[in-house]
Amino acid sequence: MKAILFSLFIAFVSGCASVKNDYIFDGATIESTKQGIGTVVKRLKPTERVEFMMALLAIQFSDVSSVYDIIDDPTMTDELNYYIIGKKINGLNYQQVLALAKSSPTKVKLTSSSMR
């Protein structure tokens, strides 16, 4: 009995630890994108969470070429536009999302003045 419980515990712990790397985002719908991001965010450490959210913003705004792109599209003023993000991260895992954000022409940076 102890062996079974120990095996289940190990499987559970290893499953939680690898969710962010193994989870494949389903960007087919707004809801599936939102659910996937929520699933991964829950498993991240606070610093990883901030890095991931900044990556999602960089991905969201990667096609923006001017301020008019944002003004003309009221959905771009939302904190996260799950429709746009979903189209871009569909089929990717956590590491691939971070890599996509790094390749984006849009750079998002957290400064001390933005934390006030």
> In the predicted model, is pLDDT for residue 89 greater than 90?
yes
Is the predicted pLDDT of residue 96 greater than 80, yes or no? yes
Read off the pLDDT of each residue in 54-79 and give the average, rounded to a whole number: 70
**What integer pLDDT is reported at residue 20 of this predicted model?**
65
User: Which residues span the domain enclosing 48?
Assistant: 2-110
Q: What is the pLDDT of residue 8?
A: 44
> pLDDT value at position 65?
57
Distance of alpha carbon 43 from alpha carbon 63, whole angstroms: 29
* pLDDT exceeds cutoff 90 at 53: yes
pLDDT-derived band at 18, boundaries 50, 70, 90: low
What total of structural domains would you count in the chain?
1
Residue 84 lies in a domain: yes
Q: Is residue 116 part of a domain?
A: no
Its pTM stands at 0.71
DSSP string, 18-68: HHHHHPPP--SSHHHHHHHHHHHHHHS-HHHHHHHHHHHHHHHTTT--SHH
Read off the amino acid at residue 59: I
| Percentage, residues of the chain above pLDDT 70 | 60
Is 115 part of a structural domain of the chain?
Answer: no
pLDDT at res. 5: 42
Q: Is the pLDDT of residue 80 over 80?
A: yes
- Whether 58 maps to a domain, the answer reads yes
The pLDDT of residue 115 is 54
Given this model, what pLDDT does residue 72 score?
A: 57
